[in-house]
Amino acid sequence: MRIHETAVNTAVLLALLSVPAFAWWTDEPFTITLATRAAVLALAAVGLNILLGIGGLVSFGHAVFFGLGGYAMAILAFHAQNYTELNLGIGVIDGTNSMPVIWLVAIIVSAITACLIGLLSLRTSGVYFIMITLAFGQMFYYFAISWSTYGGEDGVSIYVRNQFPGLNTLDPIQFFLLCFGLLCFTLFVTARVQRSAFGVALNATRQSRARAEAVGLRPVRLQLVAFALSGAITGLAGALFADLNRFVSPSMFSWQLSGELIVLVIIGGVGRLIGPVIGACVFVALEHLLGGLTEYWHIALGAILLGIVLFGRGGVLGLLTGQDGARV
Amino acid sequence: MSEAVLTTHKLCKRFGALSATDDVSITLLPDEIHAVIGPNGAGKSTLIQQICGSLRPDSGRVELLGRDISIFDTAARARAGIARTFQVSQLAMEDTVLQNAVLGAIGSRGISWRMWRNAQQTPTLIARADTALERVGLIEHRDTVCANLSHGQRRQLEVAVALTLEPKAFIMDEPMAGLGAEGSKTLTAFLDGLRLEAPILLVEHDMDAVFALADRISVLVYGKVIATGSAAEIRNSAAVREAYLGDAT
Ligand SMILES: Nc1ncnc2c1ncn2[C@@H]1O[C@H](COP(=O)(O)OP(=O)(O)O)[C@@H](O)[C@H]1O
Ligand SMILES: [Mg+2]
């Protein structure tokens, strides 16, 4: 059976919207929190999908950006809640609990870091690329553990969720809608980018580097931009994730998290616009439904992953739309 | 005499003990098809790679319209006006025919930084892509995914992508390979007219095509140019017969 991809995209987003809407109706805030978790993880994976799906670069260090977003939130909010100043070396600033400001900082810091990591890692390819991105992830992880100002291994708790003009962010449904809105907006931007000249060029570079160069394109430059965009989105997700939990810890930088993001993308369908959203929903549902029964729920996740890799390269979305290629 | 469009000066490239190109100096003049022939392993593809920038020569230089482009990378040479077709098709296999042609337009116009506008709905890109597809006879396949094309159609698309670059010189590595008699004839007729747009450096094994098309022929053997001349001169050269044509006839 073939279903048009746009119809699937809409259906997936409506499904993700309807679960918390129903939970709000029946007053089950925990379910809303689960849906928010799915939306935020989906956003992080949408970021990774730009690099992995369109660019064909398997980053095993995307937790770096997730963690940077998280710590950007934690550091700014930490100083705001303690009424202390934040010394940047070049000057002193106050903390803030304004979400838009925090998001902006998370996006900028992640994008710049992504450029730097990209400059070094894009000299390599294949397994070496995977290893070097993993190494960067570990570097940030151990740095966070040893950074005692912000809790070291224990992380930082932020007692009150940060603020967004006009919303009560402590109300679960309002915070969900905020995250969901950002997810939809990012999906829209990603879809545009994917179809743009840049997207066509990046997508072709993944398929044939020689072809790209022969028409006058510079693969590394394209991949670097993809890296920055990808990191920025995952960084934004990290800031939201921190606000969802009102807590950050070095585990946001862990290689397990990098791996989970890759898993989300693969489950949903590599390079497919809505793939990461499906992946995140499946992941959070499994985690919740099976996680309550056994602590070995990852085995079930592994089995699903194995099934997809062996039998359906296009992931869940590939099964639904009957094609395993991507895109554009 | 008119100035050469493309010139190589004493290009040398060694792979270990093997001299893949040995002091190769050739010119590509306006409006001409200059064929490079030679047995397998003679160094034809290696020469093309050095001209296009994907392989650095050990010594020697490459000039385009009198400008030394030796330090240019592949992308810069493409933008400067060198359009290459590959011996083994290099296409975005998951993309449609149109997307591959649009890619050429994007690359040559240097607009790969545009991240918002739909490339396949941008009239200037589409016009350029469609014109190229029309000319090679692929226009009715423009929405076919490349992986579903026949071998011959892929060869045609290689040429179409080169056309979208609107280059100063074409460098073609065995464009007829695997085309069959009918396909070779069509492509031969097409290249015959194309030389007036930009000269073609043509590496080809199909001798019928070479003798039908080439204004000049250079014979490459073990990395060395052993003769350059008109089709008639090459056909009648004793040295060439011995080294190369002899075992072909
Ligand atoms: N990257 C390489 N490393 C080592 N040897 C190579 C390389 N590329 C080509 N060669 C050798 O150089 C010679 C010329 O190859 P090539 O240019 O492909 O020949 P042609 O295109 O004329 O058939 C061959 O002997 C080939 O084996
Ligand atoms: Mg060859």
Instruction: Dump pLDDT digits (tens) for A46-59.
Output: 999 999 999 999 99
Statement to judge: residues B173 and B158 lie in one domain: no
Statement to judge: residues B174 and B73 lie in one domain: yes
Neighbours of B210 (CB within 10 A): 21
Q: Is residue B88 assigned to a domain?
A: no
The tokens for A54 are: 């369109």
Chain A residue numbers touching B114 (CB-CB < 8 A): 196-198
Question: What's the CA gap between B151 and B137, in Å, rounded?
Answer: 14
Give me the pLDDT at residue A259, please. 95
ipTM of predicted complex:
0.93
Q: Which ligand is nearest to the CA of B40?
A: 1
**Predicted confidence (pLDDT) per residue in A125-140, tens digit:** 889 999 999 999 999 9
Higher pLDDT, A38 or B235: A38
| Structural domain ending residue among the three candidates B165, B192, B217 | B165
**Predicted confidence (pLDDT) per residue in A6-25, tens digit:** 888 999 999 999 999 999 99
Higher pLDDT, A211 or A324: A211
Give me the pLDDT at residue B246, please. 55
Statement to judge: residues B234 and B175 lie in one domain: yes
Give me the pLDDT at residue B249, please. 44
Residues with CB under 5 A from ligand 2 (ion): B 44-45, 87
Statement to judge: residues B77 and B1 lie in one domain: yes
**Is the CB of B13 inside a 6 Å radius of any atom of ligand 1?**
no
CATH number of the domain bearing residue B44: 3.40.50.300
Q: Is residue B87 assigned to a domain?
A: no
Question: What's the CA gap between A35 and A20, in Å, rounded?
Answer: 6
In the predicted model, is pLDDT for residue A206 greater than 50?
yes
Q: Is residue B73 assigned to a domain?
A: yes
pTM for this predicted structure: 0.93
Question: What's the CA gap between B43 and B21, in Å, rounded?
Answer: 6
With tokens 């978790």, the residue in question is A37
Domain hosting B181: range is 1-81+167-249
Domain count for chain B = 2
Question: What's the CA gap between A267 and A314, in Å, rounded?
Answer: 8
| Structural domain ending residue among the three candidates B150, B165, B180 | B165
Q: Is residue B210 assigned to a domain?
A: yes
DSSP codes, A196-220: BHHHHHHHHHHH-HHHHHHTT--HH
Query: Which residues of chain B are under the pLDDT cut of 70?
Result: 1-2, 244-249
For residue B116, give how far its alpha carbon lies from the nearest alpha carbon of chain A (Å).
Answer: 5
Q: How many CB pairs under 8 A join A and B?
A: 116
Question: What's the CA gap between A138 and A255, in Å, rounded?
Answer: 7
pLDDT, chain B, mean? 93
| Structural domain ending residue among the three candidates B102, B131, B165 | B165
Statement to judge: residues B172 and B249 lie in one domain: yes
Residues A259-283: what's their mean pLDDT?
A: 93
Ligand 1 atom with minimal separation from the B42 CA: 22
Statement to judge: residues B14 and B132 lie in one domain: no
Statement to judge: residues B64 and B111 lie in one domain: no
